[in-house]
Amino acid sequence: MRVFRRRGAGATDGPADVKQARSPAQSGKGRPTPKRSEAERKRYQPITGPRAPAAPRTPEEKQQARNDRARRYDAMKRGEGWALNPRDRGAARALARDFVDSKRRVSEYYMYILIVLVAVLFVRDKAAQTYISPLILVLVVVILLDAQLIRRGLTKLIAERLPGESTRGLTLYAVMRALQIRRFRLPAPRVHPGDKI
């Protein structure tokens, strides 16, 4: 039977001597383990490299940049292809814009009604506030019905005018345009309500 006893503070026999006899070079890696954030920072490399500081622009260059932005904005309002945002490009999107702009829709007045409803929320009259929730519900139902009418009419029009053209995302694009106030739509409407497209 083997008996274990506690070693004294000054004991030097046994395997403990081996640990004490090791040199500092043999006692592990010799440096503290880096934090995870430091290790990850060293591992990741920038894709483009360091950015050079931008050169100071002269007043003439700033004016030229302003003129370019104004020219692009005017071209975008007219619907010129080179100035349009990527989501507005393509024959199907142009036809969807004309389809929405050629009719007056209830959803066109959504923003006006929303402003009125927000103003009523700040009124302390309880009688007025009791009508807000049903009115919002009716407004949502009307917008959903209008969206279905837009989807049906636009799908039929695209099939007639642009057969084989993808209609992915077109309904949402047309509905979001229909919800905007007419004078703030970009690109600006090319047709008036009642015009044939």
- Asked whether residue 4 is domain-assigned, the answer is no
- Asked whether residue 177 is domain-assigned, the answer is yes
- Asked whether residue 20 is domain-assigned, the answer is no
Number of H helices, E strands in the chain: 8, 0
CA distance 48 to 36: 24
Q: What is the pLDDT of residue 18?
A: 46
Q: Is the pTM of this model over 0.75?
A: no
Q: What is the pLDDT of residues 77-129, one digit of tens each?
A: 888 888 899 999 999 999 999 999 999 988 888 888 888 888 887 877 777 77
Share above pLDDT 70 across residues of the chain, in percent, rounded to a whole number: 80
- Asked whether residue 79 is domain-assigned, the answer is yes
- Residue 178 and residue 143 in contact, taking contact as beta carbons nearer than 8 Å: no
Instruction: Taking residues 123-146, report their average pLDDT.
Output: 84
**Domain range enclosing 175:** 63-184
Q: How many domains does the chain have?
A: 1
| Residue 132 scores a pLDDT above 70 | yes
- Residue 190 and residue 122 in contact, taking contact as beta carbons nearer than 8 Å: no
The token pair that represents 175 in the structure block: 């509905």
Q: Which residue is associated with the tokens 């070693």?
A: 7
Spatial CB neighbours of 167, under 8 Å, sequence gap ≥ 6: 92, 154, 155, 158
